[in-house]
Amino acid sequence: MQTIRYVLVGLGNLGRRFCEGIAKKDALLRERYGLQLVLVGAADSRGAAYDASGLDPARVAQIKQDGSSVGAYPGAGRVGWDALSLVEAAEADLLLEALPVYLDKGAEPGLSCMRTAMRKGMHVVAPDKGPLVVAYRELHELAKANGVKLRFDGTVAGGLPAINLGARDLRGAVVERIEAVPNLVTGYVMDMLADGVTWDEARAQARAEGVLEGDGSWDLDGWDAAAKLVILANAVAGFPATLDDVQRDGITGVDVAALTAARERGERYRLLARAERQPDNGYALSVTPTPLSPEHPLGRLGPKQMGVVYTTDIYGVITAIIDEAESGSVGDVDAKGFVGYLRGGLVSINHNLLRGDRQIPVPVWSDPDQARFDLLSLADCDLLILWRLDENSHRRARGERRVFLFFSVNSGFSGAIFKGGTMLHQEEDRIRVLIADDCPVTRAGIREILAEAPDIDVVGEAENGAEAQSLVETLQPHILLLDFVMPGNHALEVERWTRERYPHVITIVLTAHDRDAYLSQAIEAQVAGYLLKAEAPERLLESIRCAAQGECLIDGGQLARARGWETTVRWPGGKA
């Protein structure tokens, strides 16, 4: 069990709901993730509370629900104590920065809280967009300089994994275009206006349902969508965008007659945030109300749905959608980033495939072998689906293995079937690697390459399958580099044995055999990657580091090859 001591600054609706949610999820976090989360400090606009032994999140939430300040927390609160002072004084592992977005104040006090926390060696999870918009590069450099993690998954579209999907899972691709509907309330209001509801009634309804706060200008004038687009452009496209780069039009001046006419044509207006790659490799950024046809990947968004579309050079068009019909999810406050800074932020979104006018429910399979064949046969689906298989298997305090399925729009099967492993614990700053290969020359070469890496240790070597299993049991490595063909137990037997007994050990196949049959079998065995020995040393090192963070190394091209072998050789007539 790992204990994480954290400070929460910002106790508005999002912060309060986070406290409520984290109190309810305490048992699950302990059981599934091996995490004991201790709230040691909390601050709102009127005061703060600090107790090194821990505050009760449910009590903090109740104090806020009753309209009081957390400064009134019995025995630990102090009225008038501000958020920055709390961060300066607190001893904690992590800062959860959920303050309101104060762009007109230079993103303060959130920006100073984040800077202070990182300089003290605290990791930071921030659903607050302001500091990222104002100082994106500075904050990332500061995190790197202090050896801490900065997670901001929840800054764009709440629980939608828009940043992880674009920045992590599309590595190697050039993002030609980003299209997003990252703001919920604008689409909700425009749908009501198209239905004949007046502006005042629409605003009142949105406030009553908790999706519009204050005077509404931050959302309705397009500032929220513009800020999220700036973060996407920086994180996904690598473009150093600022708010000044965004051509922004909100919905307050939208023509209601145009909304009604679009509805009659079968179209929906949404406040579309768009980044278009330019000939000079820069990006043109805009936020504007846009009519979307049903054929557009975001053209069927419901009144409380958000989504993002990435158009890439090698992966085709990738779409992800979230339905937030129930407002107030813990994901709004970046719970996935909170847990994910240790575990890689694994998130699943369950939706239906849309093919033409038909909705095809995505099944859940009890037989992973059958599931794999079925999915390889569904390569022409229209929406990206992230679906987790085998949800309850192989759980262990240090991690769990999961199977994810990725589909892309009009570009075939893309992404990865395997997703697993655990981000290294904070005290484990070096990756422990076990090499299993029957060739002593190969082992020596790999060992020499890895010896040059300051963050990787070779903890053992095995020359056959049985010795590999024995060393896995004894050494408990993070990464098992496994030759596909060795004497004794077959590589896949070693992987299955390892997966059943030590699910936190991540297997990468490193082989000289570039064969579709071997590749397909390795993917089926749920290895994290299938690399050739001819790869450049830099590629091997990067693959080890990515796998250690829970990332999948199987790319779209490998999946296409596996699919081809499955459908033409293994099961040419379909699996019975």
Q: Which fold has domain 162-328?
A: Dihydrodipicolinate Reductase; domain 2 (3.30.360)
What is the rounded distance in angstroms from the CA atom of residue 179 to the CA atom of residue 235?
14
Domain ranges within the chain, ordered by starting residue: 2-154, 162-328, 348-354+363-576
The CATH code belonging to domain 348-354+363-576 is: 3.40.50.2300
Closest alpha carbon to 104 in 126, 80, 133? 133
What is the rounded distance in angstroms from the CA atom of residue 390 to the CA atom of residue 401?
8
Helix and strand tally (H, E) in the chain?
A: 20, 23
- Cβ 438 vs Cβ 464: under 8 Å: yes
pLDDT per residue as tens, the chain (576 positions): 778 899 999 998 888 888 988 888 888 878 877 778 899 999 999 999 999 999 999 999 999 999 999 999 999 999 999 999 999 999 999 999 999 888 888 999 999 999 999 999 999 998 889 999 999 999 999 998 998 889 888 888 777 888 888 888 887 889 999 999 999 999 999 999 999 999 999 999 988 887 887 778 889 999 999 999 999 999 999 999 999 999 999 999 899 999 999 999 999 999 999 999 999 989 999 999 999 998 999 998 888 889 999 999 888 889 988 887 554 444 444 444 444 433 332 222 222 222 222 233 333 333 333 333 333 333 333 333 333 333 333 222 233 333 333 333 333 333 333 333 333 333 346 899 999 999 999 999 999 999 988 889 999 999 999 999 999 998 889 999 999 888 877 888 898 898 888 888 899 999 988 888 888 888 888 888 999 998 889 999 999 998 888 777 888 788 888 888 877 776 665 544
Three-state DSSP at 517 gives helix
Asked if the 2-154 domain carries CATH number 3.40.50.720, the reply is: yes
Q: For 60, which DSSP code? A: H
Three-state DSSP at 307 gives strand
Residue given tokens 């930071």 in the structure block: 124
Per-residue pLDDT at 573? 55
Beta pairing, strands 150-151 & 175-181: unpaired
For 433, counting Cβ atoms within 10 Å of its Cβ (0-12 exposed, 13-18 middle, 19+ buried), the class is buried
What is the rounded distance in angstroms from the CA atom of residue 35 to the CA atom of residue 31?
8
What is the rounded distance in angstroms from the CA atom of residue 153 to the CA atom of residue 182?
13
Residues comprising the chain, all counted? 576
Per-residue pLDDT at 186? 94
Identical fold at 2-154 and 348-354+363-576? yes
